[in-house]
């Protein structure tokens, strides 16, 4: 069953006097619990595509439908709520709240969902334990390594039980060991939580773990292949 459908999506930026056609006629479907990787050279439109899927940006034309909801039809406030309940984000530079502990960072998104304190704590501890940070619940981001911070970010993205996780080059700032560790965790959660993972990357190790690889060049889908993870 498709949870995400992109139909002839275009995105044109009108920055300065030069129009930039960042995404061109992209049509893709994503099924539930997919573990998909979007690859392509720098400037190919990977991040723009993820921003469009995540509802952070609106397409110039075309439709993006998530679970039957057309994102273009939503008002700004509805879109924020939609993101809160349907999409989990993992950013390249972690983007944790520096003044909060690992536990509080994960709890924060549940607070936005108006969960009770008990619910928040239970879910946050469960996820942080799953990503191997059960002993670092009360550490602040500054006290964690890059790999650990990114694991907190993954736990935060999963906390709200979204339909899918969007990760923009999640391993770009990590060393080999942390990258492997993170990929294992993401793969495990993909199975356990049955969530769709879509991530952009340059990293061959990440590509090798993906079940499906979509290659973008100059804003167009160049190839879309399924593979057995290595």
Residue with tokens 């990503």: 131
Using the contact rule CB under 8 A, the part of the chain among 60-68, 108-116, 130-138, 206-214 near other proteins is 108-116
Say whether residue 85 binds other proteins (CB under 8 A): yes
Say whether residue 84 binds other proteins (CB under 8 A): yes
Among 75, 98, 118, 225, binds other proteins (CB under 8 A): 98
Among 97, 176, 184, 222, binds other proteins (CB under 8 A): 97
Q: How far is CA 23 from CA 19, 201, 220, in A?
A: 12, 17, 6
Say whether residue 51 binds other proteins (CB under 8 A): yes
Q: Among residues 163, 228, 185, 176, which one has the least CA distance to residue 203?
A: 176
- State how far the Cα of 47 lies from the Cα of 82, in Å rounded to an integer: 20
- Give the DSSP letter string of 86-117: HEEEE-TT----TTS-HHHHHHHHHHHTT--H
- State how far the Cα of 151 lies from the Cα of 178, in Å rounded to an integer: 9
- State how far the Cα of 74 lies from the Cα of 65, in Å rounded to an integer: 11
Among 8, 27, 61, 111, binds other proteins (CB under 8 A): 111
Q: Tell how far CA 40 is from the center of its chain.
A: 17
Reading the block at residue 212, the tokens are 């499906």
Site residues (CB under 8 A) for other proteins, limited to 114-153: none
Number of residues that bind other proteins (CB under 8 A): 28
Say whether residue 89 binds other proteins (CB under 8 A): yes
Say whether residue 65 binds other proteins (CB under 8 A): no
Using the contact rule CB under 8 A, the part of the chain among 27-35, 73-81, 121-129, 183-191 near other proteins is 73-81
Nearest-approach distance from CB 48 to other proteins, in angstroms: 9
Q: Which is nearer to other proteins, 57 or 207 (CB)?
A: 57
Say whether residue 61 binds other proteins (CB under 8 A): no
Sequence-distant (≥ 6) Cβ neighbours of residue 20 within 8 angstroms: 12, 13
Interface ranges with other proteins (CB under 8 A): 51, 54, 56-57, 77, 80-81, 83-85, 88-89, 91, 93, 95, 97-100, 104, 107-109, 111-113, 156, 160
């Amino acid at each position: 069953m498709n949870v995400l459908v992109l139909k002839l999506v275009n995105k044109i930026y009108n920055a300065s006097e030069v129009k930039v056609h960042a995404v061109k006629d992209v049509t893709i479907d994503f099924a539930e619990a997919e573990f998909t990787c979007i690859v392509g050279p720098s400037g190919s439109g990977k991040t723009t595509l993820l921003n469009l899927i995540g509802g952070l940006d609106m397409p110039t034309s075309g439709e993006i439908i998530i679970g039957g909801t057309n994102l273009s039809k939503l008002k700004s406030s509805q879109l924020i709520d939609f993101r809160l309940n349907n999409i989990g984000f993992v950013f390249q530079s972690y983007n944790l709240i520096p003044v909060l502990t690992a536990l509080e960072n994960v709890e924060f998104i549940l607070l936005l969902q108006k969960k009770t304190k008990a619910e928040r704590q239970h879910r946050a501890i469960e996820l942080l334990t799953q990503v191997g940070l059960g002993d670092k619940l009360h550490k602040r981001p500054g006290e964690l390594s890059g790999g650990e911070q990114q694991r907190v970010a993954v736990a935060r993205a999963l906390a709200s039980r979204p339909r899918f996780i969007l990760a923009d080059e999640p391993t770009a700032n990590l060393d080999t060991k942390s990258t492997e560790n993170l990929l294992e965790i993401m793969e495990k959660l993909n199975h356990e939580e049955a969530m769709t993972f879509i991530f952009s990357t340059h990293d061959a190790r990440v590509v090798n773990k993906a079940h499906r690889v979509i290659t973008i060049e100059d804003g167009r889908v160049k190839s879309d292949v399924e593979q057995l993870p290595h």
